[in-house]
Amino acid sequence: MIDMGSKELYELATRYMPGGVSSPVRAYKPYPFYARGGRGSRIYDVDGNEYIDYCLAYGPLILGHAHEEVKDAVIAQLDRGWLFGTPHEGEIELAKRIIALYRSIEMLRFVNTGSEATMAGIRLARGFTGRNKIIKIEGGFHGAHDGVLVKAGSGATTFGIPDSRGVPRDMVKNTLQVSFNDASQLGSVLEANAGDVAAVIIEPVMGNVGPIPPEDGYLDEVRRLTREHDVLLIFDEVITGFRLAPGGAQEYYNVVPDITILGKIAGGGFPIGIVGARRSIMELVAPVGGVYQAGTFSGNPVTITAGLKTIEILERDNVLTRLNALGDSIRAALRDLLHDAGVEAYVSGVGSMFKVFFSPSGSAVKNYSDALRCDRERYMRLFHKMLAGGVFLPPSQFETNFISFAHTDEDIEKTIEAYKSCITDL
Ligand SMILES: Cc1ncc(COP(=O)(O)O)c(C=O)c1O
């Protein structure tokens, strides 16, 4: 171990890694804190500080840090071995659980990250339809691969590079963009590209420009339009899966896509991605069909074990009922607090996802361009003050705050107090 504080570690890290980090959004000024550990709702840094964590590794840690039962299951699996390169029973068990919960899924393929899963899902949609174009939502983030790095949210937007250098124009010429919560625009683009579009890929709740829920009826309309144009609908539920409802946003909003992408929570804190769909689509995947997809670490026994245990606890302890209620109460408390303090800002979110947007005059944030109008510097001042007050929010106006099952009522009260003490003075 290197006996240094976060500042020194960061300086050292920048010598060896671009920006000192392994993923861009983790870098913020003047330097990120270095984690020493995490337990329950808390994350601890090497400088001796303790924070109530609402970043939660950007979503996977729905049970909080280092959940004992997940840890025990993982340790037991480690005893049996951690990588086989052959099929193993756990894959069947987890596949069965997921298929029972997700109406759109009859078969699935395990991969290692959400990025890999969306890449495979889009390839599958193209293979199934024989068409090339896809439609994505402006500000939607589906991982860091070429075809979707156009007007991409998350770190790409935070760092002002939503269209990455190094992506050949040819790679994105088939990626069309429409605005979230605007079904008529989607209808027009589908019309204008009739016969050429393989799929619409959408986060049912936008999660990478801050949480933006769909307006009433929007997802139904997206479903209707994609059916009408015989285009596959891909729900990227990497964030919403196992969070809004056990069966994801498709259960919560009662809209069934053709292809579902899962990740984050499904691996219980270990790397995972999942592509699932009905049998007729999935049977196109190799070795049964001609759409190629493969991975050395896919279906990793440790990940599968952690995912299974996490899903078991979510269901057994009725976790999402509590989390969704906590989300409602934290959003209501934040709205009251902003109102009482006379601060113009917009509180967004659904279920256990929430965010304060510093939008102009506190106007509603319904899509990417609304999100881009928010005052990011003001958000970063809030971020630093909250951190100083012992609360770790994601270090970007464009990332979602998450609540975990480990967050107590007292944690929430402390958090509201922390917002109260700094919200007026930004
Ligand atoms: C909606 C969505 N899709 C895909 C991804 C990519 O997942 P991963 O980071 O596991 O590659 C993310 C990551 O944040 C995401 O939020």
Is the distance from the beta carbon of residue 112 to the nearest atom of ligand 1 less than 6 Å? no
For all residues of the chain together, what is the average pLDDT?
97
Say yes or no: 292 and 406 in one domain. no
**pLDDT by residue (tens digit) across 211-229?**
999 999 999 999 999 999 9
Say yes or no: 52 and 106 in one domain. no
Domain boundary (260, 283, 316) is at 316
Q: Is residue 18 part of a domain?
A: no
The mean pLDDT value for 21-48 works out to: 97
Q: In this structure, are residues 261 and 115 in contact, taking their beta carbons and an 8 Å threshold?
A: no
Residue-level pLDDT at 150: 87
Residue-level pLDDT at 159: 78
For the chain, the domain total comes to 2
Element holding 202 (H helix, E strand): strand 197-202
Q: Pairing state of beta strands 50-53 and 35-39? A: unpaired
What is the amino acid identity at position 262? L
**pLDDT by residue (tens digit) across 277-318?**
999 999 999 999 999 999 999 999 999 999 999 999 999 999
Is the distance from the beta carbon of residue 142 to the nearest atom of ligand 1 less than 6 Å? yes
CATH number of the domain where residue 187 is located: 3.40.640.10
Q: Is residue 272 part of a domain?
A: yes
11 pLDDT higher than 70: yes
The mean pLDDT value for 94-114 works out to: 98
Dihedrals phi, psi of 164, to nearest 5 degrees? -70, 140
Domain boundary (252, 285, 316) is at 316
Domain boundary (316, 336, 365) is at 316
Both tokens of 56, joined, read: 């939660």
Q: In this structure, are residues 374 and 361 in contact, taking their beta carbons and an 8 Å threshold?
A: no
Bridge partner list, 392? 53
Say yes or no: 165 and 260 in one domain. yes
How far away, in angstroms, is 115 Cα from ligand 1 center? 6
Q: How confident is the model at residue 164 (pLDDT cuts 50, 70, 90)?
A: confident
CA distance 94 to 110: 10
**pLDDT by residue (tens digit) across 380-399?**
999 999 999 999 999 999 99
- The conformational region for residue 299 under phi > 0 = left, psi -120 to 50 = alpha, else beta, is left
Mutate to test the pocket of ligand 1, among 22, 25, 264, 400 (most ligand atoms within 8 A of CB): 264
What is the distance, to the nearest Å, from the Cα of residue 365 to the centroid of all Cα atoms in its chain? 18
Both tokens of 223, joined, read: 């479903």
Q: Quote the domain boundaries for residue 104.
A: 68-316
345 pLDDT higher than 70: yes
Say yes or no: 261 and 155 in one domain. yes
Q: How confident is the model at residue 1 (pLDDT cuts 50, 70, 90)?
A: low
Only one residue has tokens 């605007």, namely 182
- The conformational region for residue 162 under phi > 0 = left, psi -120 to 50 = alpha, else beta, is alpha
Is the distance from the beta carbon of residue 10 to the nearest atom of ligand 1 less than 6 Å? no
Say yes or no: 198 and 303 in one domain. yes
Say yes or no: 239 and 327 in one domain. no
CA distance 292 to 286: 5
Both tokens of 377, joined, read: 């510097």
Task: Answer whether 0.85 is exceeded by the pTM.
Answer: yes
Say yes or no: 152 and 196 in one domain. yes
Both tokens of 419, joined, read: 């917002």
Residue-level pLDDT at 311: 98
The protein residue whose alpha carbon is closest to atom 3 in ligand 1 is 142
Say yes or no: 130 and 73 in one domain. yes
Q: Is residue 2 part of a domain?
A: no
The mean pLDDT value for 66-86 works out to: 98
Say yes or no: 312 and 206 in one domain. yes
Both tokens of 73, joined, read: 């299951």
**pLDDT by residue (tens digit) across 32-44?**
999 999 999 999 9
139, 145, 152 from 368: Cα distances, Å: 5, 20, 10
* Ligand 1 atom, smallest distance to 208 CA: 16
Is the distance from the beta carbon of residue 400 to the nearest atom of ligand 1 less than 6 Å? no
